[in-house]
Structure 1
Amino acid sequence: MALYLYLQLPSLLVDCVSPLPAKVPLAVADAQHRLVQLNAEAAARGITLGMSLGTAAALCADLQLLPYQTERQQQLLQSVAQQLYQLTADIALDPPDGLYLRLCAMLRLYRGLNGYWQVLYKALQALGYRYQFSCGTTPLAAKCLARQQLNLLSADSTGLSAALKRSPLVASELSLPLQQQLKRLGINTLGQLLALAPAELSRRFEPELLSYLGRLNGDFYHALNYIQPAPGFSRYIELLYDIADTRVLTAPLSSLLQQLSMQLKQRDALCYQLQLSLHFRSGRPAIVLAVGSAQGEYLPERWLMLCQLQLCRLKLAEPVSGLELNCDDFKPRQAQTAALFDNSVATLSPLQLVSLLEARLGRGAISSLSLQNQHLPELASRRQPPLWTQQSQHQKQQNQSGGGAALKPVIPLALRPAFILPSPRPLTEPVEITSGPERLCPNGWQLAAQRDYFIGRNRKGQWLWLYRTVSQQWFVHGLFS
């Protein structure tokens, strides 16, 4: 037996708004100035769907309004489908606010309808959108029952058929003139309509009626266009109030990161780069922040920390009206292994620390030092990307050489300091010489430029790289790490 579940999300544009203060009535109005979505507080004030703006304003003076956005509604519906794709293989969109879920192939995996619903329920609760649902033996039967807010979870075809026959015509997708014509004939429910002979219906009514009843009963094939998984993540959240302080953006941003984390966990994946876009109501181009993690993260609190470090450096020219979070690609997560007898637990890994520093100071502000095979002190070290090792440099050289003969990595001269002073400074403290001298002539081996280098240790325990000139003057040129 075929079994479908229809999910209706009647208030996507309202529910996607950033967390509201308590008891704030909110509604969405279409181009005809009719209310098409509202939150629970607005409903508690006596406001109903289809009500005009004038009537709603008279009932609730502090009602907050949003315009209906067809494109945004479609994006939200698509995002919900992508979030649920890991739980259900066959999902089809039914714009503007519905989803068809084909359950036949999933019940064995989840050991029945109840096991499947428990997993799906947790995912829907995490998304935070209001919904109503129903099962049905055909896609249109499930939709008809769900739009009556029956919330039927059953695989019993007899019970589902009885509920469908009790459904009023207004719950169907028949046109309003056709419904009125049927009511004039005394037909008020789908059961009364289905009891009539198809030949009689085809003689008196348009083919639209027979086509709908055939797909409703399963006599005609109902084709559904099932979605394919998207490669990344893209979500937008509308702010009810414009926010000028970047610190206040933490709450709506956390909601977006929670959705990202749920999708990453479902796919057992990590992401290394996020794009956080700050949108403005005036039409000013959005500010796009590239937030990266060298190690890759999936936990929302980790990404929130990296985003906050970039937001705190940002100066806004005007308040923010919306946030958008994008991630183009996910990477498979690999298990991290540690030493068997290592009892120490680090709060941050080296890659996580680098990511935090880059988010706070900027990508080009972080580097490390490497020793070079140069006899001149000024060339003994150079700046390089953080955590860049001789092994990674060797691998890069092999890649650039086309995988041919292996290139030998650079082996630096022994006993070179990691930190060279911008300019040598006179030695003004007693030191203990431990090794040397090593004679270097930076300027064409001229006698006056000769320097005899030593390694010494001062009373503070610092290891210094010293040199003595021909005139017996002592200078500090570098420090060992």
Structure 2
Amino acid sequence: MALFIYLHFPALQLDHLQLSAESDRQLPVALVDLQHQLVQLNPAAIKAGLKQHMGLASAAALCPDLQLLPYQPEQQAKILHNVAQQLYQVSSDIALDKPAGLILRLEGMLQLYGGLKPYWQELSAKLSALTYRYQYSCGATPYAAKCLAYQQAGLITVDNRLFDKALNSSPLSATELSPAMQQQMIRLGIHTLGQLQSLPPAELARRFDSQLLSYLGRLRGDYYHALEYFQPEPGFSRYMELLYDISDSNVLIKPLAKLLQQLEQQLRRTNCQCYQLLLSLFFRDNPPLKLSIGSAQGEYKAQAWLALCQLQLENLPLPEPVYGLQLDVNHFAGQQHTTEALFNQHQARMSALQLISLLQARLGHAAVSGLTLQDQHLPEMASKRSLPLTKGAIGQAVLPLRPAFLFTRPQPLTEAVTINQGPERLCPDGWQLGAQRDYYIGRNQQGQWLWLFRTVSQQWFIHGLFS
């Protein structure tokens, strides 16, 4: 038997906006379309007596402190797509019914979960985590499930008799018939879907156009209704528009945490982690600011990524207030679990790679590097900068004593020193006698240990300092 669930999100864009401003949920807020009518209301606005499709004048008279925001169909479509992406963790056959609905086919899912009840428990738990208001119902066809969901029927059953009873008592306003056709039906004394379906099809075909018969046929399942099922995209991409513009970069942490929690859910589901995030900050009069946040070890937990993001955001100057955030991850990698000693009582709070990630987030990638030895006798060329924690090419070789700090250019010696070790002869420019240097380790009167050399012409220079 065919079975579908329809999910209707009556205020998807507004609920998504208020995710970034939980403290403002006591204020009445509504979205307004191009016809200056209210299309989405938050609970505070509904409590104030406002209703959908109400005009602005009536709304202002009922609720003087009403906050108005523009309805954006493109933004709503992106949010609906993101909801389908997250519900795909529970249900595989999902079709988008824009602007605010999802159709879920259940035949394969019931066998997987062992029945409708355990399947609905998993699905409702995922919906509750999204914190969007929704209406739902099962139905034998997508149109039937949609009609019942719009009435908030909440039917989770496989009993066709309950579907038929609920559909027959459904008002015409819950159907997809045009308002003009609904008014025409009401003038004929037809107020419910059951009354409409009881009329002979020939009579309906004579009085009304073919769209009515087509709708009733799809409602009953007489005609095939093709659905284009959703396919999840690789990686992760989420956009969040803020309820109000934010000019302090530290305040962006709260809405960013919501996006990172969604990322963690997807990474947990696929048993993956990621090494790089791309955070985009959107401004009204300036191009987006893109920040690349990396983790040398790879992370999947939202809290770990939030700490790295906070280090980059806390001192970030903003050219103007931010009105939207977007978080993108292009590549996932499998989680690599590390083993730890069972009886080790002194474990570090973070690994070396996690420490490197924090330093790179605070100081920048260019400021954090490793030091690798090279097979060169000249001090300036004996080492080079490398990636952090990279092992040098020279393993157990005996290394000569060298200072920790080298001057870019040797400085003339202008003070008295005491020689403690040396000489060690080096020739920077090949084995030419005129370029040879005799290196010594000495100490000045302030107690500093110096790395000195003497040229062929008996001139003394300081090349470095020992720590």
Shift of 1:128: 1.7
When structure 1 is superposed on structure 2, of 137-146 and 12-21 the one drifting more is 12-21
Look up the SS of the partner of 2:23 in the other structure: coil
- Cα distance in 2 for residues equivalent to 1:307 and 1:442: 46
Residue 14 (structure 1) aligns with: 14
* Deviation by residue 1:234-276 (Cα, 9 ceiling, x = unmatched): 2222222221111111211111111221122222221222221
For residues 62-121 of structure 1, what are the alpha-carbon distances to aligned partners after superposition, in whole Å with 9 as ceiling and x for unaligned? 211111111111111111111111211100000000000111111122222221122212
Quick one: which of 316, 336, 339 aligns to 2:338?
336
Amino acid paired to 2:433: Q
Of 358, 362, 365, the residue aligned with 1:363 is: 365
Q: What's the counterpart of residue 94 of structure 2?
A: 91
For the residue of structure 2 that corresponds to 1:108, the secondary structure is: helix
Pairing 1:206-221 to 2, within 5 Å after superposition: 206-221=209-224
State the SS of the aligned residue for 2:57. Answer: helix
- The answer as to whether partners of 1:138 and 1:217 remain within 8 angstroms in 2 is yes
- Write out per-residue CA displacement over residues 361-383 of structure 1, whole angstroms, 9 at most, x where no aligned residue: 11211111111100111111111
**Cα separation, partners in 2 of 1:379 and 1:47, compared to 1, 3 Å:** same
Query: How many angstroms does 1:126 deviate by?
Result: 1.9
Residues 451 and 464 of structure 2 are in contact (CA less than 8 Å); yes or no, is this contact kept in structure 1?
yes
Equivalences for residues 53-92 of structure 1 within 5 A:
53-92=56-95
Pairwise CA distance, 1:469: 4.4
Q: Give the letter aligned to residue 256 of structure 2.
A: L
User: What CA distance in whole angstroms lies between the structure 2 residues aligned with 1:440 and 1:184?
Assistant: 107
Q: Do structure 1's residue 415 and structure 2's residue 415 form an aligned pair?
A: no
Residue equivalent to 2:240: 237
Q: CA deviation at 1:475?
A: 6.2
Task: Give the alignment partner of residue 106 of structure 1, picking from 106, 109, 118.
Answer: 109
More deviation, 141-150/151-160: 151-160
Aligned to 2:110, the other structure's residue is in SS state coil
User: Would the aligned equivalents of 2:403 and 2:451 in 1 still touch at CA under 8 Å?
Assistant: no
Q: 1:144 to 1:124 in 2, by over 3 A?
A: same
Q: In the alignment, which residue of structure 2 is the partner of 1:451?
A: 438
State the alpha-carbon separation in 2 of the partners of residues 297 and 55 from structure 1: 51
With over 3 angstroms needed to count, the CA separation of the structure-2 counterparts of 1:107 and 1:429, relative to structure 1, is: farther
Task: Note the C-alpha offset of 1:440.
Answer: 2.3
Letter in 2 for 1:296: G
> Is residue 308 of structure 1 aligned with residue 294 of structure 2?
no
Deviates more, 1:421-430 or 1:310-319: 421-430
Q: Show the 5 A alignment for 1:269-288.
A: 269-281=272-284, 283-288=285-290
Q: CA deviation at 1:31?
A: 0.2
- What is the CA–CA distance in structure 2 between the aligned matches of 1:431 and 1:300, rounded to whole Å? 57
Residue 137, structure 1, aligned to residue 179, structure 2: no
Structure 1: 4+ residue segments shifted above 6 A: 424-433, 470-476
Show the counterpart of 2:375.
373
Q: Which residue identity lines up with residue 314 of structure 2 in the other structure?
A: C
Distance 2:351 2:442 in 1: 33
Quick one: which amino acid aligns to residue 309 of structure 1?
L
The residue matched to 1:2 in structure 2 has which SS?
coil
In 2 relative to 1, CA 360–221 (structure 1 residues): closer, same or farther, beyond 3 Å? Answer: same
Which one-letter code corresponds to 1:441 in the other structure? C
Q: Structure 2: how far apart are the matches of 1:467 and 1:128? A: 69
Report deviation, 1:8: 0.6
Aligned mate of 2:204, from 173, 188, 201: 201
| Distance in 1 of aligned mates of 2:244 and 2:191 | 46
- 2:384 aligned counterpart, secondary structure: strand
Q: Secondary structure at the match of 2:251?
A: helix
Q: Number of residue pairs matched?
A: 454
**For the structure 1 residues 87 and 448, does the alpha-carbon distance in structure 2 shift closer, same or farther, using more than 3 Å as the test?**
closer
Letter in 2 for 1:255: K
Native 8 Å contact 1:381 1:420 kept in 2: no
Secondary structure of the residue aligned to 1:16 is helix
Match of residue 325 from structure 1: 327
Percent sequence identity over aligned pairs: 53
Q: Which moved more, 1:83-92 or 1:118-127?
A: 118-127
Q: In structure 2, what is the Cα distance between the partners aligned to 1:121 and 1:228?
A: 21
Matched, 1:349 2:345: no
Q: The residue matched to 2:298 in structure 1 has which SS?
A: strand
Paired AA for residue 118 in structure 1: Q
Q: Specify the SS of the correspondent of 1:274.
A: strand
Distance change >3 Å, CA 475–CA 284, structure 1 → 2: closer
The aligned residue for residue 268 of structure 2 is 265
When residues 369 and 131 of structure 1 are mapped into structure 2, their CA distance, relative to the original with a 3 A threshold, is same
The verdict on how the C-alpha distance between 1:180 and 1:411 changes in structure 2, with shifts beyond 3 A counting, is same
Deviation larger for 111-120 or 1-10: 111-120
